[in-house]
Amino acid sequence: MNLPSSSTTLANCTPKLGLLQRNTLGIESYAEQAIVISKSEQIPLLLQDIKAHGLPWQVLGGGSNVVLPSVLPGITLLIDIAGKEVLSSDGTETLIRVGAGEHWHDFVQWTLAQDFPGMENLALIPGTVGASPIQNIGAYGLEVAHFIENVQAFDAEKNGFVTLSNRECEFAYRDSYFKQNPNRFIITQVTFKLPKAWAPKLTYAELAKQFSNQSPTPLEIFNAVCAIRSSKLPDPKVLGNAGSFFQNPIVSEAQCTELANQYPAIVSFPDAVGQRKLAAGWLIDQCGFKGKRIGPVGVYDKQALVLVNYGGGSAQDILGLAKQIQDKVQETFGVQLQIEPNIF
| Active-site residue set | 174, 244, 340
Q: What is the largest CA-CA distance in the chain?
A: 65
- CA nearest 210: which of 226, 233, 194, 197? 226
Sequence-distant (6+) residues with CB within 8 A of 323 are none
Q: Which class for 180: exposed (0-12), middle (13-18), buried (19 or more C-beta within 10 A)?
A: exposed
d(CA 253, CA 264): 15
- CA nearest 260: which of 281, 285, 290, 283? 283
Q: In one letter, which amino acid is 286? A: Q
Sequence-distant (6+) residues with CB within 8 A of 329 are 280, 283, 284, 287, 335, 336, 337
Per the document, the length of the chain is: 344
